[in-house]
Structures are given as structure tokens and as C-alpha cells.
Amino acid sequence: MSILQTEDPEISKLINAELARQQDGLEMIPSENFTSRAVMEAMGSVLTNKYSEGYPGARYYGGNKFIDEVENLTRDRAKQLFGVAHANVQPYSGSPANLAIYFALLDPGDTVLGMDLAQGGHLTHGYKFNFSGKFFHAENYGVDQKTHLLDYDAIREKAKAVKPKMIICGATAYPRIIDFQKFRAIADEVGAYLVADISHISGLVIAGEHPSPVHYADVVMTTTHKTLRGPRGAMILLPKVADRYHDQYHPKTKRDLAGLVDAAIMPGLQGGPHNHQTAAIAVALKEAATPEFKTYGKQIVKNAKKLAETLVAEGITLITGGTDNHLILMDVSPLGLTGSQAETLLDSVDITVNKNLIPYDPRKPMDPSGIRLGTPALTTRGFTEDDMVAVGKTIAAVLKAPDNETVLSVARMAVEKLTDAHPLYS
């Protein structure tokens, strides 16, 4: 970035400092990953210069011949990769995409049933200070107090009691498989739309490491980073089997489900799409369609399971005792630490995690009892199960001896050895 260095050395210096942080540390926040150079080149392209309000073939601006081709290619790749009938690739990010789904399917004040934020859900699944809790009547389901697993019988009873118009399933801190078929049965029983937010697990779905919601959900939303390993962005997908709604017109608007979603994005929420972002998503989708990506997705889960196994062997308490996917939720309170303290401590040895509530946490969100960590980014760097044993032992050693400078020094050297063995963007 020689031009940037000349034109704005302050920003150039900060970007290079962040690059060094990523290269020299263990990035273990489960929602973060490293894109390919090709994705970054598309993000930094001249496509950022073009306005293109509307959809391919129906723009409000001229000069969109090539932009239309980019968006159509991106939509086609998304449809083929996920096996869906319709794809909207314009959402700026996951939260706006979920807002568009709410606008498409619900009226203000309608009841939505989503996973409790404090038990693994997302802000947009009905948190009281989020739009989903302010403009809609949000009800929550959670996990069993003892097993910390989704209790589908309890969810069914809650749905029957509150009669939601929409049920949203998906999680940000749930380390086990989500049974979309059971959610479909619950939604059918109460006559609700079923929305699957697979932002965290979409890459695992592609790799066959997590069941797909396509055969069960009316609408599927995914971000395009996380395990999908693309740029920041989102997609709304309409499955082929959404027969109840997809092939029928909504009585109020005379639009089918795809029309409702598209209208909610533009003109409902957004103006011109970010065309450089769309192109970068297309690149990531092409990468995700390769056999190498499926191998990558499988390795994410192998690494997470080995990391969990190592931590448990070191006496660390994990929520549900382990993981089936890419993330681990750890209770650090038995170690005499808070989640905030654990996050800061690990950051001091160049291991990046995030503090996180655990189910039925007695502590506050900004200083909870847990931390959340995952394997997508390390797997991108080429980490394998043997590496995860070293990572797990290093994490355990640091958390069990937070004031021991010798232990912390050894941990820093271990991190340096691991990152040197698996260079990033070398």
C-alpha cells in the first residue's frame, strides 16, 4: 500500500499495526476469520465508485451493465452453493439483513420467538434494547438449566403459549448442533414462519459438518464472513421447499416471499448496494464451492473438538462439556476469574478471545462468567489437531496461573512458535 503510505501515513501505520497483530497472535474469536487476498482485492476495487440503486435490469442509475453482471453472478453462485431458489446479496451486514426479514414477514407489534441473548442468541433475535425487541413483541426461549442444551419440548410449549408469527433459530454462542427439523415442526404447529440465522455455521453447512436448514426454513440468513470466510456482508436465501409461502402471494402486498424480501431491502432499508462488497462475496462463494473449502470446514470442527478435549483434560469447565461445531464456551468462574479478566489476560499473551455470558450467568454482560473462543481463523492459517493441543494447554496454563510471569512468558513464546509455523499472508 505504497500510495496510502504516502497520502495518509497515519492510517497506513495503523493498518500495518493491525496486520502485525493478526500475524503475530492467535485469533480465536469464533465470528472472525481471514479472507483470501482475492477477496480483499475485490473489496478494494473500482466497484466502490458506482451507485446502483435497485436490482439487475431495474436500476435507478445508468451505467450499471457490469454491476448487473457482478450481482447476477453472485446471486447464481449463492443459489447453487446453498441449493436455494432465490438469493438477495445486497444486505450490508447481518443485522440489517435480519431487520429486512422482520419487515418482510411481520408488522410492528407482531410476536417473534427467538433465542435469549443471555443464553446464546443474537441481539436481533429479540433483545429488548434492539429493534427486534423495541418494534416487535419479542419472546425468548433458551437452554436447559442443567444440560445447557436446547430443550425442544420447552420451546414447543413456549411457542404454543405465545403464538408467534415468526420463530427465529440460530445462535452466536451455542456449541452444539441445531435441529432445524424440530424447529420446523414447532413452527408448523403454531402456524409461524421459520427463519434460520446460520451466520456462524454457514461454512460448516457447506462442508457437511452441520445440517442445512434449507429443507425446513422459510427464510435463511447468513453473514458472509465467519466460517464462510468472505468479506463483511450478508445474504438472504429463499429455500426451494418453502411451498407454504414461496409459491403464494402475500395477501396484503400481492408479492411472493422473494418479492417481500427484495422490497424490504430496497427500497425498504437500503439505497445503493456496496458493489465492491458484492464482488468480494462472489469471490468467497466461488472459493466455498471448492473441495478444498469442504476440507477446511471439516478441519474447523476437528480442531474445535481437539481444543475442547484438551481444555477439559486440563480441568477447564466448558458449557455442555465440549462442542459439535466451531466454537467453545468456557466458564472461567471456577478459576476465580471473570470473563473480562480472562479476555484481558489472554490478550496479554497475544491470544484473542471475547468475554461472553454463559447460560444462567449471575454476572453482568460486560463482566460475565465466560469467554467464547473458536477455530475458524486458526484453521485458515493451517492449524491442525496437534497445534490445538498446544493452544489448549497454553490457554489453560495462563488461566490457571494469571499472576505467574514465567508462565505468561512461556505462553508468549508458544504463541510465537505457532504463528511462525503458520504464517498469515506471507
Residue closest to 331 by CA, chosen among 347, 315, 351: 315
* Residue 285 burial (CB count, 10 A): 27
Torsion over CA: 227, 230, 233, 234 (sign): negative
Pick the catalytic residue from 55, 76, 179, 232: 232
DSSP E strands in 211-298: the ranges are 219-223, 234-239
C-alpha grid cell, residue 24: 503475530
C-alpha grid cell, residue 232: 463483511
Output phi, psi for 44, to 5 deg: -95, 20
Confirm if 260 and 253 have CB atoms less than 8 A apart.
Answer: yes
Q: Give whole-number Cα distances, 255 to 60, 180, 264, in Å.
A: 21, 26, 11
Residue 394 a catalytic site member: no
Residue 232 a catalytic site member: yes
| Residue located via cell numbers 469464533 | 30
Q: What is the C-alpha to C-alpha distance for residues 265 and 72, in angstroms, rounded to an integer?
A: 16
Residue 226 a catalytic site member: yes
Please name every residue paired with 236 in a beta bridge, in sequence order, or none if there are none: 88, 221
Pick the catalytic residue from 74, 124, 172, 223: 223
The DSSP code sequence of 150-161 is: B-HHHHHHHHHH
Q: What is the C-alpha to C-alpha distance for residues 341 and 338, in angstroms, rounded to an integer?
A: 5
Residue 182 a catalytic site member: no
Confirm if 268 and 111 have CB atoms less than 8 A apart.
Answer: no
Torsion over CA: 53, 59, 62, 66 (sign): positive
Pick the catalytic residue from 24, 32, 53, 151: 53
* Residue 87 burial (CB count, 10 A): 23
Residue 223 a catalytic site member: yes
Pick the catalytic residue from 226, 229, 381, 412: 226
Counting Cβ atoms within 10 Å, is residue 392 exposed (0-12), middle (13-18) or buried (19+)? Answer: buried
Pick the catalytic residue from 32, 41, 51, 400: 51
Residue closest to 262 by CA, chosen among 223, 235, 224, 233: 235
Q: What is the C-alpha to C-alpha distance for residues 392 and 348, in angstroms, rounded to an integer?
A: 16
Residue 53 a catalytic site member: yes
Pick the catalytic residue from 197, 218, 256, 287: 197
Confirm if 127 and 138 have CB atoms less than 8 A apart.
Answer: yes
The DSSP call for residue 236 is: E
DSSP E strands in 103-246: the ranges are 111-115, 137-141, 166-169, 193-197, 219-223, 234-239
Residues with a known catalytic role: 51, 53, 197, 223, 226, 232
